[in-house]
Amino acid sequence: MIFDILTLFPGMFTGPFDESIINRAKDKQLIEISLHNIRDWSTDRHQTADDSPYGGGAGMVMKAPPVAACIESVKALHPDSTVVFTSPQGRRLTNSVALDLSKRPGLIILCGRYEGIDERIRSIYAEDDISLGDFVLSGGEIAAMAIVDSVSRLIPGVLGSDESAKLDSFCDGLLEHPHYTRPPSFNNLEVPGELLSGNHELIRRWRRKESLRKTKSLRPDLLLNVALNREDLILLKEIELEESCEM
C-alpha cells in the first residue's frame, strides 16, 4: 500500500516511520511511505505556504495554490489513491475506519496546520476527513502517523501473523482481554490459574470473559453495538454475580 503524506514539517516523521513494525513493513515492501513538503510547490523565493485569513482574526491559513499544486502532483503519480484530510471535523478514526482505509490502493494524507487550510481546497480535493477525536492538535502530522500505523497493521503480512490484528481491541467490538507473561508471581500478584492450566478451552473462555469484563467496566457503550451470543450473555451474568458478591 502507498502512503503519500503532504506536510509543511516533514522532519516530524523522522523516527516514527523508521522503527518497529512500520520500518519492517517498509523493508518487506508491504507499504511505501513518501513525504512531500508542501513548501516545494510555493512559487515565491520564501516558499510561503500560509497567509492571514480574510475577515481578520488570529492565526494563519494554509494557502490554496501550493497545497493544490502538491495534491495534483502526487495524485498524478498515484491516481487511484484516496485524498484524506486530517481534520477535527472529520469522521473519528476507529478500527473499522482503519480497516476500510486499508483496502484502498493508497492514501494521500494532507496534514493541516495553523488555523486550517483554505476551504476551497477541501471543496475541490477532499475525499475523506479523519479525526483522532474531540481535541485539537498543533497540526495533522501526529494524526497522519496514527492513520499510517493503524492502517498498516491491518495489511496482510505486516504483523507477521494476520491473526494478531484480529485479536486486537475493537476488532470484534470489545476491548482486549488482559495479558500476562513470566514470572507467574510479581509483587504478590499471581497470573490467573486458567492461563497456567494448559486447557485451551478454559483459556479461551477466560479470555472472552475478561474481554467482556473490561469492556463492561471501561467502555460499556461498546456493548450496545456488539452482537452477543449465548455464551457472552452467560459470561456477563457471571460477571454481574461476581461484582455483586464483592459489594
Local structure of residue 77 (DSSP, 8 states): H
By the 10 Å C-beta count (0-12 exposed, 13-18 middle, 19+ buried), 21 is classed as middle
Are the C-beta atoms of residues 57 and 95 closer than 8 Å to each other?
Answer: no
**DSSP H/E element including 237:** helix 230-246
Selected catalytic residue, list 4, 50, 66, 153:
153
* Cα–Cα distance measured from residue 98 to residue 152, given in angstroms and rounded to the nearest whole number: 9
Catalytic residue, candidates 88, 128, 176, 205: 88
Closest by alpha carbon to 156, among 148, 168, 166, 147? 166
| Active site (annotated) includes residue 168 | yes
153 is catalytic: yes
Catalytic one of 53, 65, 100, 115: 115
Annotated catalytic residue: which of 168, 176, 194, 232? Answer: 168
Is 10 among the catalytic positions? no
Beta-strand runs (E) in the chain: 2-7, 32-37, 50-51, 61-62, 82-92, 106-110, 128-131, 185-186, 189-190
115 among known catalytic residues: yes
Active-site positions?
88, 115, 153, 168
